[in-house]
Amino acid sequence: MDLMNKPTPLAVVQGEVITQPPEDLYIPPEALEVFLESFEGPLDLLLYLIKKQNFDILNIPIAKITEQYMEYMLLMQDIKLDLAAEYLVMAAILAEIKARLLLPIHEELEEEDDPRSELIRRLQQYERFKQAAEDIDALQREQRDTFSISVPKIVDEVEKPLADVQLDELLQAFQAVIQRMDVKSSHQIKRESLSIREKMTHILAQLQEGNFLPFYNLFINIEGRQGIVVTFIAILELLKTHLIDVVQTKAYAEIYLRPATASEENIDIESGKKSL
């Protein structure tokens, strides 16, 4: 294979095809690699070779093309480019066509039996889609060539539609809250009726002992969800009947319960103790 005899391009520089390396110029192997990598596959490479030399795609000089194709393969192997298996398959196809063309032609052969016909069909098929890809790329593209418009709409606030809520959603939301509170209790206790009144008495008893109770201390984890709910209702019930007061010094601070009779001034919230 003689590289010098054929105008085999080595690189493309600013659109110009370099077919022979200038004697005193060093071409970095990376540039060559970029060029060789730019082929989309064996068909693309073949099309390039055919067009480069103005060959007729319908009458490919198989011997010449095969020779050039092999030279590129060697070049690619030389720079250790990862050659896709398809390139090797194509090499085999070309060799086969070349061999068949060398065989004496039998008289019964028709034009369709031209050994090149399948390859020509594939090349043409690929070429038209290569062109179609370029055509699609040239189409007006949204967000590249045109930009769809959406101006702010001026609407009255009240005309905003309101969200719908179902009653069971509300219940589920509450269940979620309770479950989160209950996340530490690992086991499910048996359903046992904790009476609200019993709980109220219990709370009041605790309050009398200490006179002052952090809200959370009243919720005993082992009682589970039901316990929490019952305790909560009991506290609400006590509040409603003015038996206790709920105190909080500031937003997000700990909440304290105390007997309704105790007055605010007597309580040192910080220490949580009564300081008469």
Partner 1 sequence: MEKQQLKSTLEAILFSANDPLSSLQLEKYFDPKDQVNRADLKATLVLLQQQYHHSGIELKQVQTGYRFQTRQEYKYWVAKHTSERTPKYSRALLETLAIIAYQQPTTRAEIEAIRGVTVSSNIIKTLEERQWIRVLGHKEVPGRPAMFGTSREFLDYFNLKSLNELPKLSDLVSVKDVNFSLNLEQTT
Site for partner 1 in 240-259 (CB under 8 A): 245-253, 255
The residue within the footprint of partner 1, chosen from 146, 208, 263, 271 (CB under 8 A), is 146
Q: Which amino acid is at 49?
A: L
Residues 54-73 that bind partner 1 (CB under 8 A): 54, 56-59
Contact 73, 87 (CB under 8 A): yes
- Identity of the residue, 74 or 171, whose beta carbon is nearer to partner 1 in the bound complex: 171
- Least distance in angstroms from the C-beta of 154 to partner 1: 5
Longest dimension (CA), the chain: 126
The residue within the footprint of partner 1, chosen from 114, 206, 243, 262 (CB under 8 A), is 114
Q: Cα 194 to the chain's mean position, in Å? A: 51
- Least distance in angstroms from the C-beta of 2 to partner 1: 26
- Identity of the residue, 175 or 201, whose beta carbon is nearer to partner 1 in the bound complex: 175
Residues 148-167 that bind partner 1 (CB under 8 A): 148-156, 159-167
Q: For the purposes of burial, counting CB atoms within 10 Å of the CB of 58, is it exposed (0-12), middle (13-18) or buried (19 or more)?
A: exposed
Q: Which amino acid is at 189?
A: I
Contact between 116 and partner 1 (CB under 8 A)? yes
The residue within the footprint of partner 1, chosen from 13, 79, 84, 109 (CB under 8 A), is 84
- Identity of the residue, 20 or 172, whose beta carbon is nearer to partner 1 in the bound complex: 172
- Least distance in angstroms from the C-beta of 30 to partner 1: 19
Contact between 112 and partner 1 (CB under 8 A)? yes
- Least distance in angstroms from the C-beta of 26 to partner 1: 29
- Identity of the residue, 210 or 232, whose beta carbon is nearer to partner 1 in the bound complex: 232
Stretch binding partner 1 (CB under 8 A), from 38-46, 62-70, 72-80, 201-209: 38-46
The continuous run of DSSP H or E covering 120 comes out as: helix 117-138
Angle value at C-alpha 25, between 19 and 29, nearest 5 degrees: 70
What whole-number distance in Å separates Cα of residue 201 and Cα of residue 195? 10
244-248 β-sheet, strand order: 213-214, 255-259, 244-248
Structure tokens belonging to residue 61: 């000089």
The residue within the footprint of partner 1, chosen from 12, 99, 171, 220 (CB under 8 A), is 171
The continuous run of DSSP H or E covering 219 comes out as: none
Kindly report the backbone phi and psi dihedral angles of residue 226, in degrees, each rounded to the nearest multiple of 5, phi listed first: -60, -40
